[in-house]
Amino acid sequence: MPAATEQKPLLGKLRLTSNLRVVTGLHIGAGGENLDIGGLDKSVMRDPLTKHPYLPGSSIKGKMRSILERFLNKPVNRAGGSGTFRYESDDLVSGFSEIKEYKGQLIEFEGAETCEVSRLFGSTGNSCWIPESKSEGVDRDQNAKPRDINGVSYVKVKGRNSPARLIVRDSHLTVKSVDDLKSIDTGLYMTEWKFENGMDRITAAANPRQLERVPAGAIFEFELVYTVENPEQAVKDLQNLAIALAILEDDALGGHGSRGYGKVAFEEFKLFYRDLNYYRTIGNTDRVKQETLTEATNTEQLLNEFAKVTNAVQALLPSGNA
């Protein structure tokens, strides 16, 4: 059966929770601000109902993806707007991207079925070359003839998408942080001003601007959910996520990281597993409970105890992906 018509397995859900503590003022911009005289040039994201600042899951997930792409040394094979490039698995199986912007240059990519980045974060298919021996059931480009690449016959196909296994939730403030931030007096609701000034190196002309930041000390509730599809890949995927969080602590979340913004720390990890019986027994008096696999105070402990995490996960997951 062609891969495009096969149902993706669902074996269970792994849920990782943590507290995300802001170490230095953090700015994730809302965009579309009104530039009022004396007002903010760049405001932060806020919940439209509560007006509390929050951290969009898309911002955290995007940062984690970019970190893993660099950590795993993935090629930049997909052209974007304004001359930018990024990494994508152009198809489920490995092949070559053809970069039109560089006179048809071929760049090898790993297929989304095995790529450690794409199976976590998903990938969008794109026109590419895959081995003819693996092209059964794939929508081929009828205008392109097969070509020899490194002694193997490749055909041009309209690459297939691969949905993400990872969900990163929006992170909202803890109850205590809401109370703490409501009590500060900065002239802004629950946030702080940060004044920046760009200086012309020749004339000394100033270009002042005012940014809004979430103050240091704020704590957000962080949660990610991983869909278990392949038990043999689940442990490695979890380890890569833990590594990405550790690197993020030594990087920056949000804008203006090189100016000191956006240092964060992850604390009080809890890892849970919910198998299919957990969901089947919802509402029953003998409902199956979720399994707590491990707890860790910080990313260093989480990584140091990963052998324990590995054993716990492997003991609970099905032995196969069928």
DSSP 198-223: EE-TTT--EEEEEEEEBPTT-EEEEE
Beta bridge partners of 192: 213
Using H for helix, E for strand and C for coil, what is the string for 172-200?
A: EECHHHHHHHHCCCCCCCCCEEEEEEEEC
For 320: left if phi > 0, alpha if psi spans -120 to 50, otherwise beta; the answer is: beta
How high is the mean pLDDT of the chain? 89
What gap in Å lies between CA 28 and CA 36, rounded to an integer? 20
**Is there a contact between 244 and 71 (Cβ–Cβ < 8 Å)?**
yes
Query: Do 314 and 11 meet the contact criterion of CB atoms below 8 Å apart?
Result: no
- HEC string of 80-122 equals CHHHCEECCCCCCCCEEEEEHHHCCEEEEECCCCCCCCHHHHC
Highest mean pLDDT among 26-30, 73-77, 197-201: 73-77
Helix ranges restricted to H, 7-158 = 57-71, 118-121
How far is residue 235's CA from residue 314's CA, in Å, rounded to a whole number? 8
- Nearest-angstrom CA–CA distance, 304 and 83: 41
For the whole prediction, is pTM greater than 0.85? yes
pLDDT in tens, 278-315: 898 887 877 777 778 889 999 999 998 888 888 888 88
What is the domain partition of the chain in residue ranges? 8-56+170-282+289-322, 74-162
Contact, 268 vs 16, CB < 8 A?
A: no
Check pLDDT > 60 for residue 3.
no
End-to-end CA distance of the chain: 15
> Residue 57: which of 249, 183, 220 has the closest Cα?
220
Q: CB of 273 within 8 A of CB of 291?
A: yes
Report whether pLDDT(103) > 70.
yes
- What residues contact residue 299 under an 8 Å CB cut-off, 6+ apart? 242, 245, 246, 249, 266, 269
pLDDT digits (tens, 9 = 90+) for 224-264: 999 999 988 999 999 999 999 999 999 999 999 999 999 99
